Amino acid sequence: MEKQNDTLAQVGIGAMIVFIGILIAVSTSMFVMINQLERIAQGAESTVSVATNEAHTQIVFVGGWVDDAYDDYLLMIEYQSLGKNVQTDEVGWVLWCEHNDQIFRRMGYFGDPVASAPGGVTLWEVGEDITLPTELISGKRYFVIADGGTGTGNGAGTSCGPQWIFDRGVTAYYSIYLPDGGHTTQELRVNVFEVGESVT
């Protein structure tokens, strides 16, 4: 038998090799694309979850009163969260006001002791003993003592306190800053300066 070259067979084998190469390239590309899409979807899901938790993590002001005849407010707040509880010493606050183009501010963290507060405790759960909780728990209400003055710690002076804003006819603002970026601000106005009177 005589040996013959079949050119069509050679073309067929070459086409089959190219076809197998294309299948390998397409399946590799699909794997990479699916893997990347899955990572993007998981990243987006995580971002949405964090954003939802942060958007639904808030402090709600329930009420406020003149606490003493000097410079303290007694505020009632409620912590609401779909996320996690927060450590009290990570929650910051600022009491500030403006008078004659000058801004006065006092700042600190929940749980910072204040000499005029009962036992120095400035935050406690409503209906419980006056002791500082280690964390804010979603759905629970807390009393907060806000002390007027400027600076940090026990502060200096009575700036932005109830009597100070009443005498000057100005509005004070109390802002609370959560560790994950949420914050809320409440206006404080004193229409009648008496201990126990409501702050609107």
pLDDT of res. 4: 67
pLDDT of res. 52: 47
Residue 19 lies in a domain: yes
SS3 for 37?
Answer: helix
The torsion of the CA quartet 35, 40, 42, 45, rounded to 10 degrees, works out to -160
Residue 198 lies in a domain: no
**Which amino acid is it at 129?**
D
**Statement to judge: residues 41 and 80 lie in one domain:** no
The Cβ of residue 155 has, within 10 Å, a number of other Cβ atoms equal to 22
| 186/16: higher pLDDT | 186
Residue 195 lies in a domain: no
Residue 123 lies in a domain: yes
State the pLDDT confidence band at 143, using cuts at 50, 70 and 90: very high
**Statement to judge: residues 16 and 50 lie in one domain:** yes
Residue 84 lies in a domain: yes
pLDDT of res. 7: 66
Q: Report how far residue 99's alpha carbon sits from residue 148's, in angstroms, rounded to the nearest whole number.
A: 14
pLDDT of res. 8: 64
Using the CB atoms, write b or e for 58-73: b if 16+ within 10 Å. Answer: bbebeebbbbbeebbb
**Statement to judge: residues 46 and 81 lie in one domain:** no
Residue 196 lies in a domain: no
**Statement to judge: residues 68 and 150 lie in one domain:** yes
pLDDT of res. 153: 60
Query: Across all residues in the chain, what is the average pLDDT?
Result: 84
Please classify residue 135 by burial: count the beta carbons closer than 10 Å to its beta carbon, then call 0-12 exposed, 13-18 middle and 19+ buried. Answer: middle
**Statement to judge: residues 90 and 20 lie in one domain:** no
pLDDT in tens, 36-87: 888 787 766 555 544 444 455 788 999 999 988 778 899 999 998 877 889 9
**Statement to judge: residues 34 and 80 lie in one domain:** no
pLDDT of res. 6: 67
**Statement to judge: residues 31 and 44 lie in one domain:** yes
pLDDT of res. 53: 46
**Segments forming the whole domain that contains residue 148:** 58-188
| 180/97: higher pLDDT | 97
Domain boundary, last residue among 55, 71, 95: 55
Q: Report how far residue 37's alpha carbon sits from residue 4's, in angstroms, rounded to the nearest whole number.
A: 52
CATH code of the domain containing 166: 2.60.40
pLDDT in tens, 151-182: 766 566 788 999 999 999 999 999 999 987 78
**Statement to judge: residues 77 and 141 lie in one domain:** yes
**Statement to judge: residues 119 and 184 lie in one domain:** yes
**Statement to judge: residues 44 and 71 lie in one domain:** no
Quick check: 177 and 185 in contact, CB under 8 A?
Answer: no
Residue 25 lies in a domain: yes
* pTM recorded for the entire structure: 0.69
**Statement to judge: residues 130 and 51 lie in one domain:** no
pLDDT of res. 101: 93
Quick check: 160 and 172 in contact, CB under 8 A?
Answer: yes
Residue 199 lies in a domain: no
The average pLDDT across 134-147 equals 92
- Residue 35: pLDDT over 90: no
- Number of domains the chain is built from: 2
